Amino acid sequence: MTPVRLALLLLAVCGVAAWQLTVIPPSLMQMTVGPVLAPVAIVAALTVVALLYGLSAWRGRQVDLSQEAGQEALPGATTRMLSLLGGGVAFIVLVIPLGFVLPGTLCGMCIARAFDAPFNGKSLLICGLIAGVFWFVFARLLGVGLGPALPWLD
């Protein structure tokens, strides 16, 4: 992928993010700083960065080092990428029927596998603890609606 194509892809992602900002519901309370301010600032900043990168790539100042000799993918790259994507898909598909912690654990294990960690009990324990702590902090302490930790507990 050339730097110009990458810049266009980044701008397309920024366009999707900007569109998603329009579907955030307005706050029911009258607040000076609503729930849209931070996402708008982040998307605006990323769009500016993508535009600057695109301008630099169009002028030929960005190089694609992945096309040079010796920059081939390592063996197993496809498996690692599929593991990473599969973890995200598994989380999205399983979070409604299984709650947050089990799909979060599976997703974490797939991400760890993408970085060559073994798929074993240690990964299960660590990813389960991380998913549980994230659920507790966001769902219980901060009140974010993540659903139940495990469907049979709520």
Structure tokens at 60: 């030929």
Q: What is the pLDDT of residue 75?
A: 87
Q: What is the pLDDT of residue 53?
A: 96
- For residue 66, give the nearest of 58, 55, 56, 77 by alpha carbon: 77
pTM for the model stands at: 0.64
Terminal alpha carbon distance of the chain:
47
Q: What is the pLDDT of residue 36?
A: 79
Tens digit of each residue's pLDDT (9 = 90 or more) over 65-106: 777 788 787 888 899 999 999 999 999 999 999 999 999 999
Tens digit of each residue's pLDDT (9 = 90 or more) over 13-60: 999 999 998 887 776 666 666 677 888 999 999 999 999 999 999 998
- For residue 144, give the nearest of 100, 94, 87 by alpha carbon: 100
Residue owning tokens 């990428």: 81
Structure tokens at 12: 């397309």
